[in-house]
Amino acid sequence: MRDAVTSLIKNYDNTGRYLDRNAMDRLKDYFASGMVRVQAASVITSNAAAIVKQAGLRLFEEQPELIRPSGNAYTTRRYAACLRDMDYYLRYASYALVAGDTDVLDERVLEGLRETYNSLGVPIGPTVQGIQIMKEIVQAQLEEAGISATTVLDQPFDYMIRELSEKNI
């Protein structure tokens, strides 16, 4: 797993260049947003179970066919698996948020679940919607806590949404 600093250095090292002004500006931005990243991750960590529960309830309210017979979240086992996966997405979003890099999402979430979802026939639309709902819930909680981290917060959630939406898994 890489963070913003190691990713930046790796890219410059691979091309045999010294860090330029652009690199230094990116490093300054990353470190300047460090406290906000940690505060946002703290809010996510302390409210994770409630975020997942609320997002699941909202998702199933918006798409009740998922919990009806033959729906992908029908039966207690499938319902629990859905919430478990939402928790994975939220947890890894918090890691990517602190790292300032989406590498962990590719490495631990997006690549790992593709094969599983394909084999189980899990539809991707509700997954993407669940991630969007969690993002909205976290944004509201950050606002309540007086943390203005919208652009920092958006990165990991938007990345997962975009990657899952663009890939046929």
The per-residue pLDDT for range 24-83, each reduced to its tens digit, is 999 999 999 999 999 999 999 999 999 999 999 999 999 999 999 999 999 999 999 999
d(CA 60, CA 160): 20
One-letter amino acid at 54 equals: Q
Tens of pLDDT, residues 100-119: 999 999 998 898 776 778 78
What does CATH list as the number for 34-166? 1.10.490.20
Residue 36 token pair: 């906000």
In the chain, what are the domain boundaries? 1-32, 34-166
1 and 95 in contact (C-beta within 8 Å)? Answer: yes
| Percent of the chain residues topping a pLDDT of 90 | 79
> What is the pTM assigned to this prediction?
0.90
User: How large is the angle between the packed helices 34-62 and 124-144, nearest 10 degrees?
Assistant: 130
Q: Of 62-66, 136-140, 146-150, give the lowest mean pLDDT range.
A: 146-150
